[in-house]
Amino acid sequence: MTSTLPARASRVRGARALFTGRAGGVSTGVHAALNLARHVGDDPAAVERNRELVAAEIGAPLVFVDQVHSAEVHVVADSSPSRGAAEIPVVTADALVTRRTDVALAIMVADCLPVLLADPVAGVIGAAHAGRAGLLDGVLEATIAEMVELDARPGDITADIGPSICGSCYEVPAQMQEQAASRLPAARARTRWGTPALDLRAGAISVLRAAGIPSAAIEADHPCTLEDESLFSYRRQAGTGRLAGVIRRN
């Protein structure tokens, strides 16, 4: 498929996957241009058009969830004649898993981690919103567990941690850092100006490895959302739009 949308392709196996940026949509102002979130004050018609553009790029309708920084995972059940892709309800969760090929899973972020996963052998895909709270509460472990319920094997899963705030930029209070690092030591970091920070990418990599995903199957080479102005960042500009990690099973 020829790409028409400015997006970063993901190299997860057994799926078509991408991470959107700011370019390519129709939103204006602080939401310019490819905002995919309905809850940030953008023109609803512009958001729907932006979602249509991403759906056309990935080749399937997008399934979203109402994200609340939890560890809840929603399994998009196999399709039936009476329940098509357009009829899937929006539920409260922070991750999605499916075996379906007629829908694409979408997770929105603006500094948090969008994590895409695929097992090409079992034909199972997942997408998780891993912010600080969700990561510490086990959203990635829960996502992998639901994939395993659908016959995925951690050793066959590939994962891609998309654009997100880096450990050199994600400054947090010292107490918050200590609380997080006590549960996830790999996340301890310092900003480039020497203050306490959290490296959520490093923390996520450690979780994925501990779950049995091979190190060579984990991709995390993406820009920092705060540093790269082609990406949405809530820390840079409150009220901004949301980019997305999107994945569709081959």
Residue 203 located in a structural domain: no
Residue 227 located in a structural domain: yes
pTM over 0.85: yes
As a whole number, the mean pLDDT across the chain is: 95
Residue 104 located in a structural domain: yes
Percent of the chain beyond pLDDT 90?
92
Residues 97-108 have pLDDT tens digits of 999 999 999 999
- Indicate whether 2 pLDDT > 60: no
The number of domains in the chain is 1
Residue 73 located in a structural domain: yes
pLDDT (mean) for 71-96: 81
What is the per-residue DSSP string for 197-244? EE-HHHHHHHHHHHTT--GGGEE----BTTT-TTS--TTTSTT---EE
Q: In what order do the strands lie in the sheet with 104-109?
A: 7-9, 15-20, 243-249, 104-109, 62-63
- Indicate whether 3 pLDDT > 80: no
Residue 186 located in a structural domain: no
- Indicate whether 32 pLDDT > 80: yes
| Residue 155: domain span | 7-78+90-164+220-249
Q: Which regions of 110-203 does DSSP assign to beta strands (E)?
A: 113-119, 124-130, 158-161, 188-190, 196-198
Which residue type sits at 99? Answer: R
Residues 173-202 have pLDDT tens digits of 999 999 999 999 999 999 999 999 999 999
Phi, psi of 186 (to 5 degrees): -65, -15
Answer yes or no: are the C-beta atoms of 31 and 42 closer than 8 Å. Answer: yes
Residue 82 pairs in a beta bridge with none
Residues 180 and 194: their CA atoms lie apart, in Å, by 18
Q: Tell me the CATH number at 146.
A: 3.60.140.10
Residue 206 located in a structural domain: no
Binned at pLDDT 50, 70 and 90, residue 11 comes out as: confident
Residues 102-149 have pLDDT tens digits of 999 999 999 999 999 999 999 999 999 999 999 999 999 999 999 999
